[in-house]
Amino acid sequence: WGGEVLITDVDTAEAAGWKTGMIRFRDVPLAEAIEEMNRYSETRLSVADPDLARARFSGVFPAGNQEVFLESVLLHFDARPERSGSVITVHPGADKRRQETP
pLDDT digits (tens, 9 = 90+) for 78-91: 999 999 999 999 99
The pLDDT of residue 20 is 76
For the chain, which residues make up each domain, given as ranges? 12-100
CB-facing half-sphere around the CA of 4: CA atoms within 13 A: 1
For residue 28, give the nearest of 20, 17, 36, 40 by alpha carbon: 36
- 12-100 under CATH 3.55.50.30, yes or no: yes
pLDDT digits (tens, 9 = 90+) for 21-55: 999 999 999 999 999 999 999 999 999 999 999 99
Higher pLDDT, residue 6 or 75: 75
How crowded is residue 7: how many other Cβ atoms within 10 Å of its Cβ?
5
pTM (2 d.p.) = 0.75
CB-facing half-sphere around the CA of 64: CA atoms within 13 A: 5
Q: Are 63 and 75 in contact (CB under 8 A)?
A: no
The end-to-end CA distance of the chain, in Å, is 58
